[in-house]
């Protein structure tokens, strides 16, 4: 019964979010696009990195691929076809990268994914400067920011739905086993390489689509905008803050942090990156498993303490009655 109530509650939330553009101004819609975009990015990142504990910094690589694909092909094909093309390119890159790197572990995987993002940014920059003769591209579409918002909202709902189904499937159990001990998982007969590759590709395609959908926001696109490493770090911090192993954890981390970063970037543009680094270190040391895990542990301890107090009070009353009976 509880899962059904949860699904209904989530549907009500998304229905409320769907009508938000009718009541918000241009700034409000832009703010909601950024917030829903980061909720989707963090949730997609957590699909793979949450259970497997493979920390990927390649988020901006796929985000930029999606945005640049739209800027190149938006005049040649219908919008939905361009999104499909971006998804296919993201899938092809993810499969190549996954086959080459998913046997790496720990810091080596982190370094490779960070290098991958920088490599793709430099390749796009070289191509634009030396082949097309211009660094940036203008992007003019026939629809407004409301359409961008609704597309992102649908993608966000689909991403959370996929996460919900994975957590309740054998695939989710396999991912948890890989995250706990990959060697044991292999000895149990799990095809760990194929499972990781499939989840990495799925996560990367969703991230690519976020970049493709959000691209019309900027009107002018160049590598320093869509391949900005800050996107990867923000996505990572948001997922870790809320709890990468929880379905709603990335959303819980993304909403307040996005609003905080918007305020910081507007009021402290010169010290923004310093504050970002300090916040990242604080989250890793204080809340390594996220806010939701911390709150669940706190509630469990409080319930245990109350149960202990109730048990002690019951034992005290029983001893009192026994003493009264012996006295009589």
Q: For the segment 21-57, what is each residue's pLDDT rounded down to a tens digit? A: 888 888 899 999 999 999 999 999 998 888 887 888 8
Under DSSP, the state recorded for 221 is E
Is it the case that residue 165 has pLDDT exceeding 70? yes
> What is the pLDDT averaged over residues 138-146?
85
Whether 321 is in a domain gets the answer: no
Q: What is the pLDDT of residue 62?
A: 93
- Domain range enclosing 90: 20-289
CATH code of the domain containing 234:
1.10.3470
Whether 322 is in a domain gets the answer: no
Whether 3 is in a domain gets the answer: no
pLDDT tens-place string over residues 178-194: 777 777 777 777 777 78
Whether 76 is in a domain gets the answer: yes
Is it the case that residue 302 has pLDDT exceeding 60? yes
Tell me how far apart the alpha carbons of residues 156 and 41 are, in angstroms, rounded to a whole number: 9
Is it the case that residue 2 has pLDDT exceeding 70? no
Tell me how far apart the alpha carbons of residues 258 and 253 are, in angstroms, rounded to a whole number: 8
Q: How many domains does the chain have?
A: 1
> What is the pLDDT averaged over residues 122-130?
88
Whether 111 is in a domain gets the answer: yes
Tell me how far apart the alpha carbons of residues 31 and 254 are, in angstroms, rounded to a whole number: 13
Is it the case that residue 196 has pLDDT exceeding 70? yes
Q: What is the pLDDT of residue 240?
A: 84
Give Cβ neighbours of residue 103 (< 8 Å, ≥ 6 apart).
Answer: 193
Q: Which three-class secondary structure state does DSSP give residue 319?
A: helix
Is it the case that residue 328 has pLDDT exceeding 60? no
Is it the case that residue 319 has pLDDT exceeding 70? no
Whether 299 is in a domain gets the answer: no
Is it the case that residue 246 has pLDDT exceeding 60? yes
Q: What is the pLDDT of residue 9?
A: 87
> What is the pLDDT averaged over residues 60-72?
92
Q: What is the pLDDT of residue 325?
A: 59
> What is the pLDDT averaged over residues 219-229?
87
Whether 224 is in a domain gets the answer: yes
- Is residue 224 very low, low, confident or very high in pLDDT (cuts 50, 70, 90)? confident
Cβ(58)–Cβ(180) under 8 Å? no
Is it the case that residue 322 has pLDDT exceeding 70? no
Q: Percent of the chain scored above 90 by pLDDT?
A: 23
Least confident piece of the model among 13-17, 115-119, 217-221, 283-287 = 283-287
Least confident piece of the model among 113-122, 125-134, 267-276 = 267-276
Whether 9 is in a domain gets the answer: no
Give the chain's mean pLDDT.
84
Q: What is the pLDDT of residue 65?
A: 93
Phi-psi region of 256 (alpha: psi -120 to 50; beta: other; left: phi over 0): alpha
Is it the case that residue 320 has pLDDT exceeding 70? no
Most confident of 96-105, 165-174, 210-219: 210-219
Helix-strand-coil percent breakdown of the chain, rounded to 5? 80, 0, 20
């Amino acid at each position: 019964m509880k899962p059904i109530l949860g699904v209904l509650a989530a549907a009500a939330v998304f229905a409320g979010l769907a009508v938000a553009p009718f009541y918000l101004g241009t700034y409000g819609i832009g703010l909601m696009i950024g917030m829903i975009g980061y909720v989707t990015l963090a949730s997609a990142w957590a699909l793979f990195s949450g259970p497997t504990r493979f920390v990927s910094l390649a988020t901006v690589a796929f985000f930029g691929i999606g945005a640049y694909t739209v800027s190149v092909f938006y005049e040649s094909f219908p919008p939905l076809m361009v999104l499909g093309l971006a998804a296919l390119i993201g899938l092809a890159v993810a499969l190549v990268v996954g086959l080459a790197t998913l046997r790496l572990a720990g810091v080596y995987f982190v370094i490779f994914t960070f290098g991958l993002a920088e490599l793709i940014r430099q390749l796009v920059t070289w191509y634009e400067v030396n082949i097309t003769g211009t660094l940036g591209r203008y992007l003019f579409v026939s629809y407004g920011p409301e359409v961008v918002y609704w597309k992102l909202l649908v993608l966000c709902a689909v991403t959370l739905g996929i996460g919900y189904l994975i957590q309740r499937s054998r695939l989710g159990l396999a991912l948890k086993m890989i995250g706990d001990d990959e060697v044991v998982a292999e000895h149990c007969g799990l095809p760990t390489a194929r499972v990781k590759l499939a989840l990495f590709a799925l996560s990367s395609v969703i991230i690519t689509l976020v970049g493709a959908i959000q691209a019309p926001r900027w009107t002018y696109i160049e590598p320093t905008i869509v391949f900005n490493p800050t996107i990867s770090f923000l996505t990572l911090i948001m997922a870790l803050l809320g709890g990468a192993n929880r379905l709603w954890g990335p959303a819980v981390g993304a909403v307040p942090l996005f609003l905080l970063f918007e305020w910081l970037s507007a009021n402290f543009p010169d010290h923004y990156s310093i504050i970002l680094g300090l916040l990242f270190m604080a989250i890793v040391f204080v809340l390594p498993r996220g806010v939701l895990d911390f709150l669940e542990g706190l509630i469990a301890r409080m319930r245990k303490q109350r149960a202990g107090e109730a048990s002690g009070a019951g034992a005290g009353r029983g001893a009192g009655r026994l003493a009264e009976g012996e006295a009589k």
